[in-house]
Amino acid sequence: MAVHKILGPGDRPAYAYWIPLSIQHVFAMFGATILVPILTGLEPATALFTAGTGTLIYILCTGAKVPAFLGSSFAFIPPLIGITASHGLSYALGGAVAAGFFYCIVGLIIRFAGTLWLDKALPPVVIGSVIVVIGLNLAPTAMAMAMNDSGGNYSLVCLSIAAVTLAVTVAANIFLKGFFSTIPILIGLVAGYLFTLIMGAFFPAYALIDFQVVRDTPWFGFPAFHVPSFSFVPVLTFVIVSLATICEHLGDTLVTSKVVGQDFYKSPGLHRTLAGDGIATAWAAFWGGPPNTTYGENIGVMAITRVYSVWVIGGAAVIAVILSLFRKFGALIRTIPTPVLGGISMLLFGIIASSGLRTIVESGVDYKDKRNLTISSVIFVIGIGGGRLAFNITQDLRFELAGVALATVVGIILNLLFPPEQPRRET
C-alpha cells in the first residue's frame, strides 16, 4: 500500500512553511521532554538542549535518512532517581553514558549478527512485563506529587490542582483531533498552571507559584557541562534497563518505517539508528541531561501532517536548542507546581504501564501457557514489590541490583532457562 506524502525524508520545505512545521514538532515533544528532568532533579533547559543537539547527532549518524526526534526517556526515570539517591548524580549520569555506549555495542552486533539473538533473549513476554513494571514503579511518585504539599503532608488544595490538570489532559487526549491530539501533555500543563495562578490570586494562602527565581535568572547562558563518574553498580543498572529501551527503539523505528513507507531497518540500518540513539544518550549525560529516546509523539505529528522531512525535524531540533539558551525560559519551567506535574504523571505513568500490556496483547502472548504466566508473575512481583539483590564482593565493593533492573535480569534468565514448548506434530 502506497504511503501518500507531502514531503519525503529528503525533501526540504519552502522557507515560509519550514519554521511552522518545525514548531509543531517542538510542541509535540515539549511536555514530555521537560517532565523527565523535573521528576529526576535535572535541569529542564539542559534537557531541551540535549534533545535538540541529540536529534542533530542522530540525523548525522543515520545519514539524514530517518525523520525521528529524540527526547527525554521515561524508562530511565527509576534508575536516575534510584542511583542519584544511593550513589549521587554524577554516578547516575555515568550510568547513562554507559547505556549510550551499550546501544552502540548492540548496534555493532546487529550489524554482523542480525536481530534473532535479541528476539530470543527479550521476547514480548519479558519486554512487555518489564515496561509494565517501569510504569507501575513510578505510580507512588505520581500520587505523592498529586496529594502532598512541600512538607510531605496531605493537601486537598494540591489534590484539586492535580485533579484539574489530569481532567484537562485526559479530555485533550481523548476528544481533541488533528495536531492538538498529539500535545495533550502540554495542554494539561498549561491548564494546570493557569488554574494554580487563578487559585493563588483569589486565595493568597494557596499561592504555589513564585516568579522570584525567574527574576533572578540571567537571560542567556549555556548548560553546565557535567563530569560523570563511573561505578560498577550504576553502570550495570543502566545497561540492564537499556535492554528494554533498545526494544522500544526497535518498535519506534518499525512504526516510523510504516508511517513513512520506507524500510529503515535496511536503510540506513538498525545498527546506525541504534548508534545514533546511543551517542545522543551519552552526549546528553555529559551535559547533565536525561537519556534520550525516539519520540512517538513526533511520529504522530508526521502521520497527521504527512510531512516526513528530516529538514523539518532538524529545524525543530535547532529551535529546541535556541529555547534552551534562554535561561529565564528554563527558570519559568521550574516554577511549574508539583501538583500540576503530579496530575500529568498520573496519566503518563499509567500509559507507560498500559503500553507494556499492549506489547503483550499485540504480540499474542498466550497466558494459558504456564511458562509465560510464570515469567510475567515473577517480573511483576520483583519489579513492583521492590526486589533487591545485594552482597559485598570485597570490603570496598558492594554489588546491588534492585527494582526494574533486577526484574529484567530475572525475566531474561527465566526465559532462557525455560524455552517455549515446540508445537506437537500430529502422528
Could you read off the pLDDT of 267-278 as tens digits, one per residue? 898 899 999 999
Q: What is the pLDDT of residue 1?
A: 37
- CA-to-CA distance for 424 and 231, rounded, in angstroms? 48
The three grid cell numbers given for residue 241, joined into one nine-digit string: 534497563
Q: Which residue has the cell 505529528?
A: 301
- CA-to-CA distance for 206 and 298, rounded, in angstroms? 36
Dihedral (Cα; 346, 347, 349, 355), 10-degree rounding: 160
Q: Is 32 exposed, middle or buried (0-12, 13-18, 19+ CB in 10 A)?
A: buried
Q: What is the pLDDT of residue 13?
A: 84
Q: What is the pLDDT of residue 142?
A: 84
326 beta partners: 220
DSSP state, 388? E
Residues of the chain whose pLDDT is less than 70?
A: 1-5, 179, 182, 393-399, 421-427
- CA-to-CA distance for 312 and 319, rounded, in angstroms? 11
Q: What is the pLDDT of residue 421?
A: 66
Q: What is the pLDDT of residue 130?
A: 85
Q: What is the pLDDT of residue 200?
A: 84
Q: What is the pLDDT of residue 3?
A: 43
Q: What is the pLDDT of residue 423?
A: 54
Q: What is the pLDDT of residue 119?
A: 76
E strand residue ranges, 350-422: 388-392, 398-402
For the entire predicted model, the pTM comes to 0.77
Q: What is the pLDDT of residue 172?
A: 86
- Tell me which H or E stretch contains 252: helix 232-260
36, 72 Cβ separation under 8 angstroms: yes
Residue type present at position 103: Y
Backbone torsions φ then ψ of 71, nearest 5 degrees: -130, -175
- CA-to-CA distance for 41 and 305, rounded, in angstroms? 35
Using one digit for the tens of pLDDT, what is the confidence trace for 52-95?
A: 999 999 999 999 999 999 988 878 888 888 889 888 999 999 99
5, 260 Cβ separation under 8 angstroms: yes
